[in-house]
Amino acid sequence: MESGASLQKGSSDGYSSEAAAGSQEQPLVSVSAVLPAGGTGERMGGGTPKQFCRILGRPLISYTVQALERISWISHIIVVVSIENVEIMKSIVKQYGHKRTIIAEGGTSRHRSIFSGLKMFVKNSLIQKPEVVIIHDAVRPFVEKDIIFKVVMAAKEYGAAGAIRPLVSTVIASSPDGCLDHSLDRAKYRASEMPQAFLFDIIHQAYHQCNDYDLDYGTECLHLALKYSKTNAKLIEGPPDLWKVTYKQDLYAAESLIKEIISQQVCVITDMNENAVQTGFLLHETLKSHVKLVKSLSLILCKDSNHLQNILLGQCYNFICISDILSNFQETQQLVKILEKTNASVLSSIVLISVHMDDLENAAFSSEMHSFVELAKEVKKKNIFLYGLIIHYQQDNLKLQETAETAATLITALIRDRNPAFVGQLLVA
Amino acid sequence: MESGASLQKGSSDGYSSEAAAGSQEQPLVSVSAVLPAGGTGERMGGGTPKQFCRILGRPLISYTVQALERISWISHIIVVVSIENVEIMKSIVKQYGHKRTIIAEGGTSRHRSIFSGLKMFVKNSLIQKPEVVIIHDAVRPFVEKDIIFKVVMAAKEYGAAGAIRPLVSTVIASSPDGCLDHSLDRAKYRASEMPQAFLFDIIHQAYHQCNDYDLDYGTECLHLALKYSKTNAKLIEGPPDLWKVTYKQDLYAAESLIKEIISQQVCVITDMNENAVQTGFLLHETLKSHVKLVKSLSLILCKDSNHLQNILLGQCYNFICISDILSNFQETQQLVKILEKTNASVLSSIVLISVHMDDLENAAFSSEMHSFVELAKEVKKKNIFLYGLIIHYQQDNLKLQETAETAATLITALIRDRNPAFVGQLLVA
């Protein structure tokens, strides 16, 4: 990932990266991916094909491309879209800075689109034909490196491999009059999911040999590999979040999962004022029971952009900037400028909560407050969501602890919701 | 529904009720329902069985019971739970005021639980044996009257009927070595969903005759009716939101759908102050492009509790109370009292936004503000979420229109989010 930060699901320690345990594994074989995205999204009941539906402002397919792109050993990602969506896809690749991504023009069915993608490796001399090709779905954004690695390794060994899941509902066959003919024993069958992977020559040959009926009405690449290349794919149990975003409720679920992922970390930044440092420490401790990973940093360190860059690379999209009084939000302004420079908000909104200790009476709607609202409006355009939070600083330790608990609840809600409507609002703990 | 208000999915006009078009239909046959809820929720990866997981504070199963309960021609709803959950289920029925609901102790498998439920109609002389029995899932809360009516009518005619959906993934069979054996033609199969319905004697006989293997490992009631009562069930295409809450992402999706349903209507209540009336009118008009149905009411009419009761019965859970200045929130207090009396917040949180026109300077954190925060804390315990909103009243019409637009965006976000963390906060438009 060259674009500064990527979205990926946290491992148990709150975040994961290329360097995290286990993920250094390399398949030791050349690998590329085909991402069919030619669907018209008719099952969503809406006009926009589901792969282009926006989640937190960003098209679903961009999340999926990113999931593949962050795996360094995938050489090329061929995204196959229908001819009318080529320009849209180009602008997505540009806007979100996707690398190693090539757009191909798709066919009229899923199989024809995949075939178009595979052909790119043969007809385009600039794209090296891989030994193993991954086939994934544009509408399965939560695919993890772990399952991709497993199907690639199995494809290398068996020629073909695919992720499966237990069936959620019983599968039945109906008679021509719309009545039950028979039901299948749920235990004996599995749902075929994605990703799948193949030795390139096996799947390419299968597509070459299959007939028009297969290309127009087939749904299963593993079936083609079996029928035309005599290869019984290895089946690999995948995690539940491999599911396919198909209906409106799936979009809601995907949004919530993405929010959950990007709200796992928060970085507390304080200036050197004594009260601010104390409150920062208190908030740091209190937030630990709300957020998976809390980091702290002084504003001075923050100005060294390497420090901040590292935090952003570690999947942290949430910042709390603590200064003393409300009128003093230059620190917030400085931080906004540094964040803007990193470009990290291209892929995900950044939440920045400007925390001020103050007597409530002083927090009246002063001219500084007006500038704060204006700043918030301005940086919202850059996908940085700025909120204000006043903590009533109290000498009484017990009361201060209570206030910190309220503040942590508000901070967690702001981070989790990422609601653009509340940008520029001043909450009170 | 005797408990004052029920949650149901809106039809295209923004709300639906027993009296809405089409829904007066009666199956002209005695009908009861069995709701197996004995599952242990292992697929959620957590300790709490999924039917008891809370969505917006309320257990999932309560939503499903409510979906059946609001259909007046369903005589009894037998909820079958495992022995360790009988007390939990009893407290749910009590807390949410569920009517016509009987708790039965379940078996060790889904089929055994359903059989236990069916036996209640035979062994308990107080519960009349129905001609048609509906079998549904505790974890499918979005079932509509329309599909229930269809399966009941089909069961009356065919002896058995069930809802189906197209398969989302291809279904495959694996060989003993974990490789693909064959894949099914997706077009020829369907996913068997719920609700299902049966002539009571047909399904009761099937359960009586089936063997232990069926009872322990079977998953499909339609299969039992076919195998033991020689009845080919009629299959009926159901809507996508019949899906089964199975994984964590499904809980997220369910929460979002419920939020969508309860945020479709808002009622604007104004006092008789001239500015308040004008702002009320402006907000009413502006909100129309954000919320499906906007109603208006004067505070005086509101005090006649019949008016408010009718609004609540019409599925409205969101209120905006407009008064002139911030210090004057007696109207809000009055409305809170009236809302408390209706008991409507038992089933769903009620959002109440106290809107005040004011110069921002006056809105400082006065002692009134302190009382507002205290009131909000207090009524939150009763599931009424009180938020404050200041509208900077401006003579300039264009500016006022802009402010109204901002206010409508904030109101919509508050209604949609229903975030308890922000209760008592004062937002500014």
Contact (CB<8Å) A255/B250: no
pLDDT score for B17: 41
Q: Give the H/E segment covering residue A156.
A: helix A145-158
What is d(CA B280, CA B127) in angstroms, rounded to the nearest whole number?
A: 51
Residue type, A8: Q
Q: What is the ipTM of this complex?
A: 0.90
Closest CA of chain B from A147, distance in Å: 16
Q: CB burial class (10 A; 0-12, 13-18, 19+) of residue B397?
A: exposed
The per-residue b/e assignment along B62-76, b for 16 or more CB within 10 angstroms, e otherwise, is bbbbbbbbbbebbeb
Report chain B residues whose CB lies below 8 A from the CB of A158.
179
Tell me: do A221 and A349 sit in the same domain: no
Q: Do B164 and A174 touch (CB under 8 A)?
A: yes
For A164, the closest of B162, B172, B181 (CB atoms) is B172
Can you tell me the distance from the alpha carbon of A155 to that of A123, in angstroms, rounded to the nearest whole number?
A: 23
Contacts of B178 in chain A (CB under 8 A): 234-235
Please name the residue of chain B whose CA is at the shortest distance from the CA of residue A387: B427
Find, in chain A, the residue whose alpha carbon is nearest to that of B417.
A417
A62 domain residue, yes or no = yes
In sequence order, the 6+-apart residues with CB closer than 8 A to the CB of B201 are none
Query: Does residue B289 form part of some domain?
Result: yes
Cβ contacts (< 8 Å) between A188 and chain B: which residues? 173
- State which amino acid sits at residue B149: F
Token pair, residue A92, equals 């997505």
* CA A254 vs CA A63, A261, A412: distances in Å: 10, 11, 19
Q: Name which of A170, A253, A419 is nearest B253 (Cβ-Cβ).
A: A253
Burial tier of B105 (Cβ tally within 10 Å: 0-12, 13-18, 19+): middle
Name every residue whose Cβ is closer than 8 Å to that of residue A313 and which is 6 or more positions away in sequence: A4, A5, A17
Q: What is the mean pLDDT of residues A75-99?
A: 96
Tell me, what's the pLDDT at B327? 63
What value does the mean pLDDT take over residues A49-58? Answer: 95
Which residues on B lie below 8 Å from A191 (Cβ)?
Answer: 168-172
Question: Is A197 in the same domain as A136?
Answer: yes
B214 and B332 both lie in a single domain: no
Residue B403 in tokens: 């402010």
Shared-domain flag, residues A251 and A273: no
Give the rounded distance of the alpha carbon of A194 from its chain centre.
17
What pLDDT, in 10s, does the model give residues A5-40?
344 544 333 333 444 434 568 899 999 999 999 976
Q: Which of B110, B150, B158, B179 to substitute to test the interface with A, most A CBs within 10 Å? A: B179
Which residues, other chains included, contact A345 with Cβ-Cβ below 8 Å and sequence gap of 6+? Answer: A339, A382, A383, A384
Q: Are residues A58 and A175 located together in one domain of the fold?
A: yes
Residues of A in contact with B183 (CB under 8 A): 192, 220, 222-223, 226
Instruction: Provide the total of helices (H) and of strands (E) in chain B, helices listed first.
Output: 14, 17
Is the bond preceding B195 in cis, omega lying within 30 degrees of 0? yes
Residues of chain B contacting residue A186, judged by C-beta atoms under 8 Å apart: 219-220
The enclosing domain of B122 has a CATH number of 3.90.550.10
- Would you call B188 exposed, middle or buried from its count of C-beta atoms within 10 A (0-12, 13-18, 19+)? exposed
Q: How far apart are CA A68 and CA A145, in angstroms?
A: 8
**Calpha distance A407→A286 (Å, rounded):** 9
Total CB pairs under 8 A between chain A and B: 211
Cα(A303)–Cα(A44) distance, integer angstroms = 46
Candidates A56, A175, A179: best to mutate against B (most CBs of B within 10 A) is: A179
Contact A220 B170 (CB under 8 A): yes
**Diameter over CA atoms, chain B:** 79
| Residue B277, amino acid | V
User: What CA–CA distance (Å, rounded) separates A307 from B331?
Assistant: 52
Domain boundary among B212, B235, B258: B258
Q: What is the mean pLDDT of each run of 10 residues along chain B (429 residues)?
A: 41 38 75 92 66 96 97 98 95 97 93 97 92 97 97 98 95 96 92 98 97 93 96 96 92 96 94 83 94 88 76 88 75 87 90 83 63 93 95 84 94 97 94
Check whether residue A249 and residue A295 sit in a common domain: no
8 Å CB contact of A43 and B187: no
Rg (CA), chain B: 25
Q: Where is the domain boundary, B237, B258, B279?
A: B258
Q: Show residues of chain B in contact with A244, CB under 8 Å.
A: 168-169
A235 vs B contacts (CB less than 8 Å): 172, 174, 178-180
CATH of the domain at B292: 3.40.50.360
Q: What confidence score (pLDDT) does residue A326 get?
A: 58
Nearest beta carbon to residue B235 from set A180, A233, A249? A180
**Would you say residue B283 lies in a domain?**
yes
Of B170, B253, B428, nearest to A219 by CB-CB distance is B170
Classify strands B265-270 and A31-36 as parallel, antiparallel or unpaired: unpaired
Nearest to B332 by CA among B388, B380, B381, B294: B388
B409: which chain A residues are within 8 Å (Cβ-Cβ)?
Answer: 421
Q: Let me know: does A206 contact A228? Beta carbons within 8 Å.
A: yes
Give just the sign of the alpha carbon dihedral B99, B100, B105, B107. Answer: negative
**Whose structure tokens read 């999947």?**
A315
Cβ-in-10-Å burial (0-12, 13-18, 19+) of B129 comes to middle
Q: What share of chain B is helix, strand, coil (3-state, %, to 5)?
A: 45, 25, 35
Q: Are residues B248 and B286 in the same domain?
A: no
Specify the pLDDT at position A273: 79
Do the domain assignments include residue B251? Answer: yes
Among B258, B281, B311, residue at a domain's last position: B258
Domain that holds residue B125: 31-173+184-258
- Structure tokens given for B358: 């004011």
> Do B202 and B335 belong to one domain?
no
Rounded Cα gap, residues A43 and A41, in angstroms: 5
User: A200: which residues sit within 8 A by CB, 6+ positions away?
Assistant: A118, A121, A129, A130, A131, A132, A133
**In what helix (H) or strand (E) does residue B285 lie, and over which residues does it extend?**
helix B274-287
Q: What pLDDT shows up at residue A40?
A: 66
In this prediction, residue B359 carries a pLDDT of: 62
- Smallest Cα distance from A183 to chain B, Å: 6
Cα B71 to its chain centre, rounded Å, is: 13
B219 Cα to chain A: minimum distance (Å):
7
Running DSSP on this structure, what letter comes out for residue A383? T
Q: How far apart are CA A257 and CA A251, in angstroms?
A: 10
CA B300 to chain A, closest CA, distance in angstroms equals 32
The residues with which B388 forms a beta bridge, in sequence order, are B354, B426
Instruction: Please indicate, yes or no, if residue A297 is contained in any of the structural domains.
Output: yes
- What is the pLDDT of chain A when averaged over all its residues? 88
Amino acid in position B324: D
Contact A192, A162 (CB under 8 A): yes
Tell me, yes or no, whether A232 and A282 share the same domain. no
- Pick from B172, B365, B417: which is nearest to A419 by CB? B417
Q: Closest CB to B222: pick one of A183, A188, A410.
A: A183
B303: tokens are 């005090």
CA B267 to chain centre: 20
Chain-chain contact of A252 with B256 (C-beta, under 8 angstroms): yes
Name residues whose C-beta falls within 8 Å of residue B108's C-beta, 6 or more positions apart in sequence. B38, B216
Contact B240 A43 (CB under 8 A): yes
| Cα–Cα distance, A194 to B169 (Å, whole number) | 9
Q: Which residues of A touch B415 (CB under 8 A)?
A: none
A399, part of any domain: yes
Full DSSP string of A266-298: EEEEE-S-HHHHHHHHHHHHHHTTTSSEEEEEE
Instruction: Name the DSSP letter for residue B3.
Output: S
**d(Cα B252, Cα B260) in Å, to the nearest integer?**
12
The tokens for A248 are 């409106």
Same domain for A421 and A337: yes
Domain count, chain A: 2
Given a contact cutoff of 8 angstroms between Cβ atoms, the answer to whether B192 and A171 are in contact is yes
A297 with A379, same domain: the answer is yes
Please report residues of A whose CB lies closer than 8 A to that of B425: 410, 425, 427-428
Asked whether residue A17 is assigned to any structural domain, the reply reads no
Give the one of B169, B247, B413 whose C-beta lies nearest to A422's C-beta: B413
The amino acid at residue B306 is N
Tell me which residue of B294, B387, B380 sits closest to B332, measured CA to CA.
B387
* A310 Cα to chain B: minimum distance (Å): 30
Host H or E run for residue A337: helix A330-342
Helix (H, G, I), strand (E, B) or coil at B137: coil
**How far apart (Å, rounded) are the C-alpha atoms in residues B51 and B92?**
12
Please count the other Cβ atoms lying within 10 Å of the Cβ belonging to residue B45.
10
Question: What single-letter amino acid sits at A352?
Answer: L
Tokens standing for A287?
């937030």
Secondary structure of A214-250 as H, E, C letters: HHHHCCCHHHHHHHHHCCCCEEEECCHHHCCCCCHHH
The pLDDT score that the predictor gives to residue A11 is 39
Nearest to A173 among B188, B220, B417 (CB): B188
Maximum pairwise Cα distance, chain A: 79
Tell me if B122 sits within 8 A of B138, measured CB to CB: no
Q: Assess if residue A23 is contained within a domain.
A: no
What is the C-alpha R_g of chain A? 25
- Residue A117 CA to residue A112 CA, distance in Å, equals 9
Who among A178, A183, A190 is closest to B234 (CB)?
A178
CB–CB contact A360 B365 (8 Å): yes
Report the pLDDT averaged over residues A157-163.
98
**Which residues of chain B does A173 touch, with a Cβ-Cβ cutoff of 8 Å?**
188-190
Identify whether residues A330 and A380 lie together within a single domain.
yes
pLDDT at A158: 98
Confidence at A300, pLDDT banded by 50, 70, 90? confident
